[in-house]
Structure 1
Amino acid sequence: MGRIQGNGIALLLDLDDCTGCFSCEAACRETHRYPYEEDWMRVVRRDPFLVDGKLRQYHLVAPVMDKCAACYDGEHEPLCVSGCPAAALRIGSLADMAREAEGRHCAIYTA
């Protein structure tokens, strides 16, 4: 972990907890009121698949991180994070998010 500088912000998505409910996508649109032809946050649903004989759902959140950085500068607990019913999203410094993701099935997006 010595390579991580931690200079920017990062959005952590816990892939095991995300249910693909689209609340982060709706919260982002509600907060910023951007037009429907734009995407600042998008939930990408994947087909279920088997891992070690168990059915697994897999969803990805695809944020536009320069927008997230601007939002985070104004509010350290943005609505996409605080409104996630599964508590699958977290936002903070890259170093903090990398420590939190250690040993877990997560995706980290950086700005």
Structure 2
Amino acid sequence: MSRVDGKGIALLLDLDDCNGCFSCEAACRETHRYPYDEDWMRCERREPFLVDGVLRQYHLVAPVLDKCAACYADNPNPLCVSGCPTRALKIGSLADMVKEAEGRHCSIFTA
């Protein structure tokens, strides 16, 4: 298993802001026109659950980051990020995404 070296890109998902609308998934498919039996970006909806008596929705983006790295090299503001209506997705260097995530409920995916 390889270790994260910090030289690649990172995709940040703010779990509090994502509403599970699938726009990132649709944007990725629209940009790259890959077949429907492939997934490059997938939005997973989980069952709602209670946290401190408050019902929370939980959505998780599952990117294929080697594809994201190639896309980001062509356009540092890809459609999956710019088209997110809640601005829950961000992409950039791992160091920048770690700073951005500080104090927030986020997932960071690295390539």
Q: Which amino acid aligns with 2:64?
A: V
- Please give the per-residue CA displacement for 1:27-83, whole angstroms capped at 9, x wherever unaligned: 000000000000000000001000000000000000000000000000000000000
User: Is the counterpart of residue 30 in structure 1 residue 30 in structure 2?
Assistant: yes
Q: Give the aligned partner of residue 55 of structure 1.
A: 55
What TM-score does the superposition give when structure 2 sets the normalisation length?
Answer: 0.95
Instruction: Using the TM superposition, give the Cα deviation of residue 103 of structure 1 relative to its aligned residue in structure 2, in angstroms.
Output: 1.0
Question: Any unmatched runs of 5+ in structure 2?
Answer: none
Letter in 1 for 2:47: D
**Alignment: residue pair count:** 108
The whole-number CA distance in structure 2 between the counterparts of 1:9 and 1:104 is 19
TM-score, structure 1 length as denominator? 0.95
Letter in 2 for 1:50: L
Unaligned runs of 5+ in 1: none
RMSD, aligned CA: 1.0
Report the identity percentage. 80
Q: Displaced runs of 4+ in structure 1, greater than 2 A?
A: none
Amino acid at match of 2:78: P
Q: Counting strand residues as a fraction of each chain, which structure ranks higher?
A: 2
